[in-house]
Chains A and B, each alone.
Chain A
Amino acid sequence: MTSATIDDAITQRIRKDIAANDVVLFMKGTPVFPQCGFSATVVQVLSHLGVKFKGVDVLQDPGLRQGIKDFSSWPTVPQLYVKGEFIGGCDIVREMFQSGELQQVLDEKGVASEVQA
């Protein structure tokens, strides 16, 4: 296999993941055991908002770890996608959560959320 076909396979996998799930978080580690503080922060925000999401652990696949950065022209992980759209990394998600903008985006896109006590 040439490297181009491997890249295509990864891009296809990313497209499939963000098409099949309303909310996808590409992260280091899993939602239960995040391996990085930035990933943990985004998991915390989503959990607080009661948003169901799919976590994809990029540490399981070096190709994906690089591929997701190329896909979004974004140099870091975590990366949050809602309804197929790239929302941002940890800083943006935190800022949007604090300003209430994140809840607004979720509402607008028809993603159910309910703040957990």
Chain B
Amino acid sequence: MPMSPAEIESLIKEALPDATVKIEDLRGDGDHYAAYVVSKGFQGKTRVQQHQMVYQALQGRMGNELHALALQTAAPASE
């Protein structure tokens, strides 16, 4: 069962409440997404750690129901 963009977004926001999440359906097939996630929780973390946090938020769906999610993560630009 493919996941809806709203479902992906809400799972990420549950784990990272301050996050700004933008989801793109890359092929319009509900199966290949790109997500841009900006959260203060990423501050001081490596990219691998940041992506791991998002994968953790998706609770094992990545690589299963969720076939392809291109990820881009960042901490908010400092003021």
Query: A residues touching B (Cβ–Cβ < 8 Å)?
Result: 38, 69, 73-76, 86-92, 95-96
Contact = CB atoms under 8 A, between A and B. Distances in A.
Contact of B63 (A69, A86, A92, A96): A69
A95 B63 contact: no
Given A74-B48, A91-B51, 5 more contacts: A74-B52, A76-B62, A92-B47, A92-B51, A95-B72
Contacts of A91: 51, 70-72
Contacts of B48: 74, 86-88, 92
A75 B47 contact: no
B28 interface: no
Interface residues of B, number: 12
B44 interface: no
Contacts of A88: 47-48, 51
